[in-house]
Structures are given as structure tokens and as C-alpha cells.
A = this chain, B = another copy of it.
């Protein structure tokens, strides 16, 4: 059953704003000591110079020039991507950072907000299509509820289903990935697990709708990253995209990928390979107190090292461990590979 012969793809990417220092609710003015005046174009050039990834992921806003990305237009982006030999690996419409979105976007009770949100997503789809990307990611950060008796869970769900369906039909050539997260900024997000994303995908009923798994979100959910990958891929390869970062299983710290977990990520990389995952892995960090460019670098180097580790051990070795189903043998093998002796 294992497709151990599948070829490794080793396709790495980075979300461009990972090169910037973020803010949080306590350091509201941002952790950077100086204002960051770099444009999106300059960040693409930085990714090119860094030479570690084959693609970059963009966040799309209503009005170019808004927060997070700097001024840009499609022609400029296409040109600078080409100049730097980079693919556009995906576009995320910013569904979380504008005050009008605070009560929800595709699932807001207000119809005008739903419409405005769908229009923003269509811009992201157009941008992706124009720049050669086949992927648009939707993270419903502001859709969900905080308080008891605040939300009509059924209506919110239905509005999301309808909205995603409209977007899927808007351009069937674009794959749409729904990104689950167990909490934050909402206490109870509308899509809080990989399984719930699958339920929504079935309700939407379109082939170009799948999941963006943020491995950090998965780590602090009541789910197992490797199993989530197996489940999503086992259902018509609906894992469309990956966001890569790390944390301590308690909150979404968006730390350098690989800085905390080792063995669990090795298992995840095995399952990506085994299930023929063929898309990009995109670094998704919040470099609060670490130098941002080096934080991206280390994340990519960890991904490459994990892929190389799988190559070195051989997929058959892992297939055999699972077939043997003896955890003492599996842990012995991993220890010998990681620490020797």
C-alpha cells in the first residue's frame, strides 16, 4: 500500500512577510527597533538573494499599499519573480487584519461584509492566476466566536460553505486551501481542525477545495500531524498546501520550524512522501525576537535536512517499522540515526 517509490519533491517556499518583525497585543508597536520600509518587491529580491526557496507566498489586501505587503502591482511582481527565478506559490487574502472583518468575513452575519470578503478573495484569486500560482489560501482567523450565546454556529457554517463554493467556481483552475486553527484570534474558530476542514470540503462539494495544514496549528490541536496528513491525502489528496513552523504544543508560537520537534516532524515528512504530496512547504513564522532572515533560513534548512534524512534512511525502512508495529524497534532506529550508538 505504501507508495514508497514516490519521488521526493523538496519544494520550499516562504511567506514574504516572514522577513518582517511582527507586533503582538503587548508590543503593539512591533518588536522591530526601526520602521521596516521595505516593499514587497524588495522582499522578493531578498528571497532571491537568500537562495534557499523556489517560491514565495503573498498576502493580498484590498488596496495595494495596505499593511503587511507594501505597494505592488501584478506586473512588477511577475517581473521580479522571474528575475529571481522564483515561483509564486500561493496568495492569501488578508481575512484577519482589517477592523471591518472583526465579526467575521465569509461567515459574518452582515451580508455586506460577506460580499466584501468574497470580493477580496476574488482579487487574491486573480492575482494568483495572473502571476502563475495555482493556489489561494483562506485562513478564517476572524470567523468564529468568543462568548457563549454569541454565535449562530449553523448560519456561520452555511455562509462559509456558500462563500467557498462561490470562490471555487469563480476560477476552477485555482486550488483553494482552507487553513484550520484550534483558536486565536477567536476562541472557537469556524474551522478548528483538519477533520472539520474535511467536513466543510464535503459540504462545498468542489474538487478544487482542499486544506492548508499549518503544522504548528496541528501540533497544538487534539490531532497528530502525521495522521492529519495521512487523512487528508487519503481522501483524494486534499492536502493542498503546508505552512511550516514550530511550538510547544500549547499555543501558536510560530517559531522556527524544527526548533522544537524532531521525531514527530520526521514522521510527518515520511507521510508527505508516502502519500505523494507534490506541493510546496511554505515557511510561516512570527520572528518576534529573532533576526527574521536567519529565522527563515533555519526553517528551510531544517526542512531540507528532514527530507535528506528520509532519503538517507529510505522510505522502505520506515514502511518496515510501521509494518512491524513495535515501538521499541522504531525508537531504537530513530535514536541510532539521530544520536548514534
A47 within 8 Å of B (CB atoms): no
Please, how many angstroms separate the alpha-carbon atoms of A308 and B32 in the complex? 40
B residues less than 8 Å from A142 (CB atoms): 26-27
B residues less than 8 Å from A248 (CB atoms): 187, 249
Q: Could you mark each residue 9-36 of chain A with 1 if its beta carbon is under 8 Å from any beta carbon of chain B, else 0?
A: 0000000000000111111111111000
Most B C-beta atoms less than 10 A away, residue of A1, A304, A335: A335
Please, how many angstroms separate the alpha-carbon atoms of A151 and B145 in the complex? 35
Of B151, B255, B286, B305, the residue contacting A147 (CB under 8 A) is: B255
Pull 17 A–B residue pairs with CB atoms less than 8 Å apart, ordered by A: A24-B185, A27-B185, A28-B30, A109-B325, A146-B289, A148-B260, A148-B263, A150-B325, A154-B231, A195-B199, A248-B249, A256-B328, A290-B326, A290-B327, A308-B341, A338-B338, A338-B339
Interface hit among A70-78, A96-104, A165-173: A96-104
Mark out the residues of chain A between 130 and 184 whose CB falls within 8 Å of any chain B CB in the assembled complex: 141-142, 145-155, 157, 182-184
A202 within 8 Å of B (CB atoms): yes
B residues less than 8 Å from A199 (CB atoms): 195, 198-199, 202, 231, 235
- Are A256 and B305 closer than 8 Å at their CB atoms? no
B residues less than 8 Å from A270 (CB atoms): 149
Please, how many angstroms separate the alpha-carbon atoms of A144 and B270 in the complex? 18
Q: How many residues of A contact B (CB 8 A)?
A: 110
Q: Could you mark each residue 250-275 of chain A with 1 if its beta carbon is under 8 Å from any beta carbon of chain B, else 0?
A: 11010110111011101100110000
Interface residues of chain A: helix, strand, loop or mixed (majority): loop
A196 within 8 Å of B (CB atoms): yes
Please, how many angstroms separate the alpha-carbon atoms of A200 and B297 in the complex? 38
If A222-B193, A226-B148, A322-B149 touch, does A96 touch B251 (CB 8 Å cutoff)? no
Please, how many angstroms separate the alpha-carbon atoms of A327 and B338 in the complex? 20
Shortest CB distance A320–B (Å): 10
Please, how many angstroms separate the alpha-carbon atoms of A318 and B249 in the complex? 25
Of B23, B230, B335, the residue contacting A258 (CB under 8 A) is: B335
- Are A149 and B267 closer than 8 Å at their CB atoms? yes
- Are B328 and A297 closer than 8 Å at their CB atoms? yes
- Are A259 and B327 closer than 8 Å at their CB atoms? yes
- Are B149 and A305 closer than 8 Å at their CB atoms? no
